[in-house]
Amino acid sequence: MKRTKIFILNGHPAENSLSKFIAQTYAEAASASGFDVRISHISDMDFDADFGFAGYKQHKELESDLVAFRKDIEWADHIVMTTPMWWGGLPAKLKGIFDRTFLPGWAFDTRTTKLGMPLPMLSGRTARIFVNSDTPSFFFWLLHRNALLKQIRGQIFHFCGIKPARITHFAPAGTATPKKIEKWIEEVRKLGASGA
Protein backbone atom coordinates (compact mmCIF):
# COMPACT_ATOMS: atom_id res chain seq x y z
CA MET A 1 0.00 0.00 0.00
CA LYS A 2 1.47 3.32 -1.06
CA ARG A 3 1.88 5.89 1.68
CA THR A 4 0.37 9.21 0.67
CA LYS A 5 0.94 11.55 3.64
CA ILE A 6 4.50 12.19 4.78
CA PHE A 7 5.49 14.43 7.68
CA ILE A 8 9.14 15.46 7.82
CA LEU A 9 10.81 16.87 10.93
CA ASN A 10 14.25 18.41 10.59
CA GLY A 11 15.55 17.91 14.12
CA HIS A 12 18.71 20.01 13.86
CA PRO A 13 18.36 23.15 16.01
CA ALA A 14 20.59 25.28 13.74
CA GLU A 15 19.19 27.37 10.91
CA ASN A 16 21.41 25.66 8.32
CA SER A 17 22.76 22.13 8.52
CA LEU A 18 23.26 18.85 6.68
CA SER A 19 20.13 17.57 8.45
CA LYS A 20 18.09 20.42 6.98
CA PHE A 21 19.49 19.75 3.51
CA ILE A 22 18.54 16.08 3.85
CA ALA A 23 15.02 16.97 5.02
CA GLN A 24 14.45 19.39 2.15
CA THR A 25 15.89 16.98 -0.41
CA TYR A 26 13.58 14.20 0.79
CA ALA A 27 10.59 16.58 0.76
CA GLU A 28 11.26 17.74 -2.80
CA ALA A 29 11.68 14.18 -4.09
CA ALA A 30 8.56 12.94 -2.30
CA SER A 31 6.47 15.89 -3.54
CA ALA A 32 7.68 15.33 -7.11
CA SER A 33 6.50 11.71 -6.83
CA GLY A 34 2.99 12.77 -5.82
CA PHE A 35 3.14 12.31 -2.06
CA ASP A 36 1.37 14.82 0.18
CA VAL A 37 4.21 16.35 2.21
CA ARG A 38 4.47 18.55 5.29
CA ILE A 39 7.83 19.67 6.67
CA SER A 40 8.80 21.38 9.93
CA HIS A 41 12.16 22.62 11.14
CA ILE A 42 12.74 22.43 14.86
CA SER A 43 14.85 25.59 14.62
CA ASP A 44 11.65 27.50 13.77
CA MET A 45 9.66 26.06 16.67
CA ASP A 46 9.21 27.92 19.96
CA PHE A 47 8.64 25.77 23.04
CA ASP A 48 10.10 24.87 26.43
CA ALA A 49 12.06 21.65 25.90
CA ASP A 50 12.13 20.82 29.63
CA PHE A 51 9.30 18.52 30.75
CA GLY A 52 9.93 19.72 34.28
CA PHE A 53 8.13 17.11 36.39
CA ALA A 54 8.72 13.71 37.96
CA GLY A 55 6.20 11.33 36.44
CA TYR A 56 3.11 12.11 34.39
CA LYS A 57 0.62 13.36 36.98
CA GLN A 58 1.54 16.91 35.96
CA HIS A 59 2.57 18.36 32.64
CA LYS A 60 2.85 21.76 31.04
CA GLU A 61 0.27 23.06 28.60
CA LEU A 62 1.54 22.47 25.07
CA GLU A 63 2.69 25.54 23.17
CA SER A 64 1.07 26.15 19.78
CA ASP A 65 4.07 24.73 17.89
CA LEU A 66 3.81 21.50 19.87
CA VAL A 67 0.07 21.27 19.22
CA ALA A 68 0.81 21.68 15.50
CA PHE A 69 3.54 19.02 15.72
CA ARG A 70 1.08 16.54 17.24
CA LYS A 71 -1.46 17.27 14.52
CA ASP A 72 1.18 16.58 11.87
CA ILE A 73 2.02 13.24 13.51
CA GLU A 74 -1.69 12.32 13.61
CA TRP A 75 -2.11 13.34 9.96
CA ALA A 76 0.87 11.36 8.66
CA ASP A 77 1.10 7.84 7.33
CA HIS A 78 4.90 8.04 7.23
CA ILE A 79 7.17 10.11 9.47
CA VAL A 80 10.66 11.21 8.45
CA MET A 81 13.12 12.69 10.94
CA THR A 82 16.61 14.05 10.41
CA THR A 83 19.07 14.57 13.25
CA PRO A 84 22.74 14.83 14.08
CA MET A 85 24.25 12.80 16.88
CA TRP A 86 25.54 15.07 19.66
CA TRP A 87 27.39 13.55 22.61
CA GLY A 88 26.00 10.16 21.70
CA GLY A 89 22.39 11.36 21.79
CA LEU A 90 19.79 13.66 20.28
CA PRO A 91 20.11 17.47 20.39
CA ALA A 92 18.36 18.75 23.52
CA LYS A 93 15.58 20.56 21.67
CA LEU A 94 14.77 17.48 19.59
CA LYS A 95 14.75 15.25 22.67
CA GLY A 96 12.53 17.85 24.32
CA ILE A 97 9.85 17.62 21.65
CA PHE A 98 9.39 13.93 22.51
CA ASP A 99 9.53 14.60 26.27
CA ARG A 100 6.82 17.23 25.93
CA THR A 101 4.46 15.68 23.38
CA PHE A 102 4.75 11.88 23.43
CA LEU A 103 2.69 11.57 26.60
CA PRO A 104 0.33 8.96 28.10
CA GLY A 105 -3.13 9.16 26.58
CA TRP A 106 -1.74 10.30 23.24
CA ALA A 107 1.39 8.29 22.36
CA PHE A 108 0.84 5.34 24.69
CA ASP A 109 -1.78 4.05 27.11
CA THR A 110 -0.51 3.13 30.57
CA ARG A 111 -3.97 1.85 31.58
CA THR A 112 -3.77 -0.98 29.05
CA THR A 113 -0.65 -3.10 29.17
CA LYS A 114 0.73 -6.23 27.54
CA LEU A 115 3.51 -8.04 29.38
CA GLY A 116 3.84 -4.93 31.53
CA MET A 117 4.31 -2.56 28.58
CA PRO A 118 1.87 0.27 27.76
CA LEU A 119 -0.36 -0.06 24.71
CA PRO A 120 1.07 1.92 21.73
CA MET A 121 -1.31 4.59 20.46
CA LEU A 122 0.43 5.75 17.25
CA SER A 123 0.23 2.46 15.38
CA GLY A 124 -0.44 2.39 11.65
CA ARG A 125 2.46 4.72 10.85
CA THR A 126 5.96 3.99 9.63
CA ALA A 127 9.15 6.03 9.88
CA ARG A 128 12.49 6.78 8.27
CA ILE A 129 15.17 8.42 10.38
CA PHE A 130 18.31 10.00 8.95
CA VAL A 131 21.13 10.26 11.49
CA ASN A 132 24.47 11.88 10.72
CA SER A 133 27.47 11.70 13.01
CA ASP A 134 31.19 12.33 13.08
CA THR A 135 31.70 8.89 14.61
CA PRO A 136 32.21 6.34 11.81
CA SER A 137 29.51 3.69 11.63
CA PHE A 138 31.90 0.83 12.44
CA PHE A 139 33.15 2.48 15.65
CA PHE A 140 29.64 3.52 16.59
CA TRP A 141 28.63 -0.14 16.42
CA LEU A 142 31.81 -1.52 18.00
CA LEU A 143 32.19 0.93 20.88
CA HIS A 144 28.60 2.02 21.55
CA ARG A 145 26.51 -0.82 20.13
CA ASN A 146 24.50 1.68 18.06
CA ALA A 147 22.93 2.99 21.27
CA LEU A 148 21.35 6.11 19.78
CA LEU A 149 19.90 4.20 16.83
CA LYS A 150 18.36 1.68 19.22
CA GLN A 151 16.92 4.50 21.35
CA ILE A 152 15.31 6.22 18.37
CA ARG A 153 13.95 3.06 16.78
CA GLY A 154 12.95 1.03 19.82
CA GLN A 155 12.47 3.33 22.78
CA ILE A 156 10.74 6.17 20.94
CA PHE A 157 9.12 5.10 17.66
CA HIS A 158 8.44 1.37 18.18
CA PHE A 159 7.38 2.00 21.79
CA CYS A 160 4.56 4.20 20.51
CA GLY A 161 3.63 1.86 17.65
CA ILE A 162 5.42 3.63 14.78
CA LYS A 163 7.01 0.75 12.91
CA PRO A 164 8.94 -0.25 11.09
CA ALA A 165 11.19 2.70 11.86
CA ARG A 166 14.11 2.40 9.46
CA ILE A 167 17.35 4.27 10.06
CA THR A 168 19.87 5.59 7.54
CA HIS A 169 23.17 6.55 9.18
CA PHE A 170 25.57 8.87 7.35
CA ALA A 171 29.08 9.02 8.81
CA PRO A 172 31.63 10.43 9.28
CA ALA A 173 29.82 13.67 8.44
CA GLY A 174 32.34 16.20 9.70
CA THR A 175 35.07 15.12 7.28
CA ALA A 176 32.87 14.01 4.38
CA THR A 177 33.96 15.22 0.95
CA PRO A 178 31.49 16.94 -1.39
CA LYS A 179 31.50 13.76 -3.50
CA LYS A 180 30.56 11.65 -0.45
CA ILE A 181 27.80 14.07 0.57
CA GLU A 182 26.36 14.04 -2.94
CA LYS A 183 26.28 10.23 -2.78
CA TRP A 184 24.33 10.46 0.49
CA ILE A 185 21.97 13.04 -0.99
CA GLU A 186 21.31 10.83 -3.99
CA GLU A 187 20.31 8.05 -1.59
CA VAL A 188 17.96 10.49 0.15
CA ARG A 189 16.42 11.46 -3.20
CA LYS A 190 15.71 7.82 -4.05
CA LEU A 191 14.12 7.18 -0.66
CA GLY A 192 12.04 10.35 -0.93
CA ALA A 193 10.87 9.49 -4.43
CA SER A 194 9.62 6.11 -3.21
CA GLY A 195 8.26 7.39 0.10
CA ALA A 196 10.43 4.92 1.97
Domain annotation for the chain: domains and CATH numbers: 5-194 (3.40.50.360)
Q: What is the pLDDT of residues 51-61, one digit of tens each?
A: 988 888 888 99
**What per-residue confidence (pLDDT) applies to 148?**
87
pLDDT tens, residue by residue, 4-34: 899 999 999 999 999 999 999 999 999 999 9
| 163-174 mean pLDDT | 95
Please give the C-alpha separations between residue 36 and each of 6, 33, 124, 195, in angstroms, as whole numbers.
6, 9, 17, 10
Q: How many CA atoms lie within 13 A of 56 on its CB side?
A: 13
Of residues 113 and 171, more confidently modeled: 171
Residue 110 has φ and ψ, to the nearest 5°, of -75, -10
Query: What is the structure's pLDDT at 140?
Result: 66
Per-residue pLDDT, 1: 44
44-93 confidence digits (pLDDT tens): 999 999 998 888 888 899 999 999 999 999 999 999 999 999 988 999 99
pLDDT level of residue 132 (50, 70, 90 thresholds): very high
- Give the pLDDT mean for 118-131: 96
pLDDT for res 55? 81
Give the other-Cβ count within 10 Å of 81's Cβ.
25
pLDDT band at residue 163 using 50, 70 and 90 as cut-offs:
very high
What pLDDT is attached to residue 138?
66
